[in-house]
A and B are shown apart, each in its own frame.
Chain A
Amino acid sequence: MIDATSLMLTLMWGLAIGCIYVLLATGLNLIFGVMKLVNFAHGELLMVGAYVSYSVCTGLGVNAYIAVFVSMGIVALVGLAVERLAFRRILGSDKLNEIFVSLGLILIFDNVVALVWGDKSKRIISPFENMSLQLGEASIRFDWLIALAFVVVILVGLLFLVKKTKIGMAMRATSQKSQASMLMGINIEHIYIFTFMLGAALAGAAGSLYGIIFPFNPSIGALPTIKAFAIIIMGGLGSIPGAIIGGLLYGIAEQSAVAVFGSTWRNAVAFSLLIIVLVLRPKGLFGEKGD
């Protein structure tokens, strides 16, 4: 039977991993919403983010949480390169091409990172390494709470950007009707670049936080991507609130599955859920916008 302490821990673990999924899923959702592009290599940007943050932390001795911002910037630049060199050229062609290019990018990123940083597992040491909050018998690491706070701040900033600024308005216009917004004088080429970089920056932040909470290696990128897709599909394509709620629920569901069935079932339970959802509603829980 599950007692209160382990329930609390499961919930906190779920929220911690869930907030990383939220960042990843939101970035993917932005890119999909605006560009109608499915980037299966998005998790690789998370992985690169974790390593950049690691280098900034250990190499320059910067505080782990300041490194998050450095990593966001650098990963955004990586995103720029990916968009210009690979995805830009196949945009609007066969949908399967996006999957193929993503696979190529996964191979490239995994192995470039392995060459530069090695293939051994690493962790970012945070300044609050051994501090935790005692709640009854459950001890909750400060890092989990800080990560949660970070995600909230980043998401509020993102919502402000999308809803209140001029470029956010241009993004929303492009996402609704790209041709009409071109006629209104929006340079959708620039909007595409900006959106992709923004999505990449979110993945970079997700990676840095991932690196603070969990150990990581060059091959961690693939599964979170697939899970982020599952979250988007369940939460509704193009909907940011859907991605946020979906991500948190998914994280908690995954940790509960581990607590109940054991860790081998971690991924299988999640995918079973996804398949059931898609069988019942082929376009996701909240339908599909556009396309």
Chain B
Amino acid sequence: MFTRAFTKDNFLKLLQSTKGRIALVAIAVSLVIPFVLSDNYMIHVLTTVAIFIIYASSWNLLASSGQGSLGHAAFLGIGGFTSSLLAVNLGIPPIIGIFIGGVFSAAIGFLIGITCVRLKAWFLAMVTFGFLVIAETLFRHFDDYTHAKLGFRTPILVPSGLPFYYFAVSISIISVTVMYFMMKSKMGLAFRAIHQNATEASMIGINTAKYKLYAFVFSTFFAGLSGAIYAHFQRYIHITVFTADNSFKPLMMSVIGGLGTIEGPIIGSAIMVFIDDLLPNIDTFLNSVLGPLFPAISSVGPSIRFIGLGVFLVIVVVFLPKGISSLIRKIYRYVRTELSESEKP
């Protein structure tokens, strides 16, 4: 399967390539940045970015096999509730609980995957969205066990602030590395073949159902893991984790960043979380300028931001189908050829 891709040679090869150097710089930046932006709120935002990188990458892994899920929030919630409920009811330490959450989420993902592997893109989108609605209804219905309606306080995983940031970043780095090697392995190649043309992929001997199911299981594992970490990070979990909004977020992050690339969800998560958490600062300004134009609504800020996001998403899909990462690659390639040409004579 994909374990063969994890050889020492491949690691060394990666470290010597440009990609590897960029990755090392990115890791170094992520470790140093809390000392530059050291106020509590920024560390909170950066931790959110780290968690959403896992979540968006998990969605991206599934999408790389051509399966666009609209119900990933269900797995985020399942992971979160599993870990939190285990910790509260059975006293299982959250550090183990988050992985149980991931495994349980993957088990449910396996069941959903079985129903989904035969479906085409839009049918799959419908079924996954439907599963999200069903999961929410079940959590509401069995409130005696889930305590989802009122929500509850989740136990401490790692002390908040800097320790939690480093914990989230290290899990994030490990997860992204694992997913990188998955996408580079034979399995990842099969995913891309299925994405491009499922019929042709099965003709050259790829078991499409098997690989689609693999994609589902691994993706939902990481989604559950990120959900569990997120629940302990927020110190609170509530039924609202199962919103469509949470399902669309990883999608937008991956698409804006660059679908099917490893760096796409990372760039996208950073952009989206910053938009969500930092841009509200300009809301009062927007309100004072544009508020009088739209008397029907009390605060124009959120709507304007969301319209901007929607326009941005459409523009990216129409003009930059490979996302912002492709733009960066183009610029990099342009700069490199310019430099090498100027050196020649």
Contact = CB atoms under 8 A, between A and B. Distances in A.
Interface of A: 38, 40, 86, 89-90, 93-101, 103-108, 110-112, 114-119, 222, 226, 229-230, 233, 264-265, 267-268, 270-272, 274-275, 278-279, 282, 284
A274 B130 contact: yes
B210 to A, nearest CB: 17
Nearest to A107: B310
A93 B259 CA distance: 14
13 contacts: A95-B120, A100-B252, A104-B310, A104-B314, A107-B307, A115-B303, A226-B130, A233-B123, A267-B133, A274-B126, A275-B130, A275-B131, A279-B115
Nearest to B134: A268
Interface stretch (B34-42, B135-143, B154-162, B221-229): B135-143
Contacts of A272: 130, 134
B contacts with A: majority SS: helix
B296 interface: yes
B126 A96 contact: no
Interface stretch (B63-71, B89-97, B180-188): B63-71
B294 interface: yes
Contact of A264 (B63, B127, B140, B303): B140
B22 interface: no
Contacts of A265: 137, 141
B304 A106 contact: no
Contacts of B130: 226, 230, 270-272, 274-275
Contacts of B119: 278, 282
B297 A86 contact: no
B122 interface: yes
B13 to A, nearest CB: 30
A195 B121 CA distance: 23
A111 B317 contact: no
Given A95-B122, A100-B251, A268 B68 contact: no
A contacts with B: majority SS: helix
A115 B294 contact: yes
Given A104-B313, A271-B134, A86 B296 contact: no
Nearest to B121: A95
B55 interface: no
B149 to A, nearest CB: 10
Given A108-B311, A226-B126, A233-B123, A100 B131 contact: no
A50 to B, nearest CB: 15
Nearest to B305: A111
A268 to B, nearest CB: 4
Contacts of B321: 93-94, 97
Contacts of B6: none
Interface of B: 63, 66, 68, 70, 115, 118-123, 125-127, 129-131, 133-134, 136-138, 140-141, 244, 248, 251-252, 255, 259, 294, 296-297, 300, 302-304, 306-307, 309-314, 317-318, 321
A93 B320 CA distance: 13
Nearest to A88: B318
B141 A264 contact: yes
B123 A111 contact: no
Given A97-B321, A103-B252, A115 B314 contact: no
Given A107-B309, A275-B131, A115 B318 contact: no
In the complex, the 6 A-B pairs of residues with the closest C-beta atoms, listed nearest first: A107-B310, A271-B130, A118-B296, A104-B313, A268-B137, A108-B310
Contact of B63 (A96, A107, A274): A96
B335 to A, nearest CB: 28
Nearest to B141: A264
Contact of A111 (B137, B296, B304, B312): B304
Contacts of A222: 244
- Which of A96, A98, A115, A229 has the most chain B CB within a 10 Å cutoff? A96
Contact of B310 (A89, A111, A115): A111
Nearest to A230: B126
Contact of A115 (B244, B297, B311): B297
A284 B119 CA distance: 10
- Which of A90, A100, A270, A272 has the most chain B CB within a 10 Å cutoff? A100
Contacts of B252: 100, 103
Contacts of A97: 317, 321
Contacts of B311: 104, 108
A101 B313 CA distance: 7
Nearest to A89: B318
Contacts of B123: 233, 278, 282, 284
Given A104-B314, A108-B314, 5 more contacts: A90-B318, A119-B297, A268-B136, A278-B115, A284-B123
Given A86-B318, A278-B123, A282-B119, A118 B133 contact: no
- Which of B136, B255, B303, B314 has the most chain A CB within a 10 Å cutoff? B314
B300 A96 contact: no
Contacts of B133: 267-268, 271
A153 B68 CA distance: 38
- Which of B127, B252, B303, B321 has the most chain A CB within a 10 Å cutoff? B303
A108 to B, nearest CB: 4
A229 B115 CA distance: 18
Contacts of A271: 129-131, 133-134
B121 A99 contact: yes
